[in-house]
Chain A
């Protein structure tokens, strides 16, 4: 299945991309699974999405937990903890 992945703020800068379409292998069905899949690419992805890194996620523009399910066509965003206000 395919999902649209977006990166914001420091993540976008470190990865050098604002986002991409990602084809997921079978078995990847959660936000944490997607994160691990991207991390497995190595390089910047491994570093920026490491388990130690404080990364938040949203699915279809709704802030979610890592265990949240994802499905084909979803917009999944990864970003640092927010600092507005």
Chain B
């Protein structure tokens, strides 16, 4: 497992290649979040951020077959079109890879301590959390916990 909170950009193909080396890996699902329209600054809680993401990945590993996983989240100043976040999950089959990737992303949105500040022409403002993000994370609570094969 690799968890990194960093200012620098990341290379999707290199990260996917790094978790695809095992011959048992048959599926890699990845998600990349991109800055939309407005420049922003991302603040985080150093130390807690990494711990929170690791816990989410471990929880995903207890529900689905996760052979390897990389989560990279950037902080600092970001421009429209910049990559913000990467979640990549390697598994034997696509079902586990897709589900674990989406689960990690949904929980990251509500549990990992990041805050976005948008810089608009009329001034800067902190982005408000959306109830839809809480709902996205909550829908996993009733989801099966056993590992699919």
Which residues does A use to contact B, with CB under 8 Å? Answer: 6, 8-10, 54, 58, 61-63, 77, 79-85
Contact = CB atoms under 8 A, between A and B. Distances in A.
Contacts of A81: 110, 128-129
Contacts of B126: 9-10, 80, 83
12 contacts: A63-B113, A77-B113, A79-B115, A80-B126, A81-B110, A81-B129, A82-B111, A84-B44, A84-B84, A84-B116, A85-B105, A85-B108
What band does the interface of chain B fall in when counting residues whose beta carbon is under 8 Å from A?
A: 20 to 34
Interface of B: 33, 42-45, 47-48, 51-52, 73, 84-85, 105, 108-117, 126-129, 133
Contacts of B129: 54, 80-83
A82 B45 CA distance: 11
